[in-house]
Structure 1
């Protein structure tokens, strides 16, 4: 019974968070060569994911007033805005010379940026977790949360592994200033459309 719950939790986590590997890999690419990048991404991912779990638990406990289901799709506005900002920054700095220090200077990976993107990307996770938590009951839901929190660390390390493989890292480094805004904008649009925000 316990093993089955753990395996179900792992499956649910993988299904709802596999897309985070790409987003986190891009964060690692943006923060390459900067001290503390891994720690900031790690903390940001945990903060964002704890927010997701907290929201899911609140909704599960009947706190519909805190987070009505129709609000969830609007979390897509967060990565959309961040992606548009990153695209604007890239366009604005397009005329600069090829100074690596100047490129890195404007690309600090902040804890709150990672947390916001994680939370926004997890808006649909809330919609998945709530019915599961309701179905399995409080004790199993708590076990799911513990498994999820352990898996977050593995997810971050996997994303770092992907980002630090030379072929992958070279592609990300070459195209991250283009990929990063595209991924965030795309993520925002998908969340908005799939949730029916603004009547889409």
Structure 2
């Protein structure tokens, strides 16, 4: 159980590091009224979770070992994140500019939800194999962890707005660890489903 909870926390954190800084911008812009930002973040994140669960259910008809092939998705996302983090700086600068532009679009709840969904391709790529590779009871636990993490993310954003100096080290070390966390999740999905044995007899 603890390992499953840790895996779910890692999956959420790894796919929402970038969204945290967009959320910070929304919270800072909201000033005294942050309820709409929190509602919007929950709405967008829950929509992504629902889509991931739906896709995972569609994939349960695949033979057991073949579901693990989906572990390639978080691995690919992790490699892409590593390239963006450690490769040419133009890519990360462009991402930061896009995030800032989106954050400045407004602070209504549906704007926040829309940004969370638009920025959720990584979430879908990681959540789908995670859900598909576990039993439905485990998926309930994963979903509860995700819901709790959304609240922690919102609370963390509110707290960090009041302590802006802490944002810099989080951005620096969080994005550096992100690719590694995604790679671990991808390998975990592949190993838990005996995919190597099914495909290659290993």
Bin the TM-score by the shorter chain: 0.5 to 0.7
Matches within 5 A, 1:37-52: 38-52=34-48
Q: Which aligned pairs between 1:1-200 and structure 2 lie closer than 5 A?
A: 2-32=1-31, 35-36=32-33, 38-62=34-58, 86=101, 108-165=106-163, 167=165
CA contact (8 A) 1:31 1:108 kept: no
Residue correspondences, number: 132
TM-score w.r.t. the length of structure 2 is 0.57
CA distance in 2, matches of 1:139, 1:84: 36
For structure 2, list consecutive stretches of 5 or more residues without a partner in the other structure. 60-94, 169-202
- RMSD, aligned CA: 3.0
Residues in 2 aligned to 1:86 and 1:11: alpha-carbon distance in whole angstroms: 28
Question: What displacement does 1:167 show?
Answer: 4.7
Runs of 4+ displaced beyond 3 Å: 83-87, 166-169
Separation in structure 2 between the aligned mates of residue 133 and residue 86 of structure 1, nearest angstrom: 32
Give the structure-1-normalised TM-score: 0.58
Deviations 1:105-147 (A, max 9, x none): xx75110010011111112211111111111121111210110
- State the Cα distance separating 1:85 from its structure 2 match: 11
Unaligned 5+ segments in structure 1 are: 64-79, 91-106, 172-200
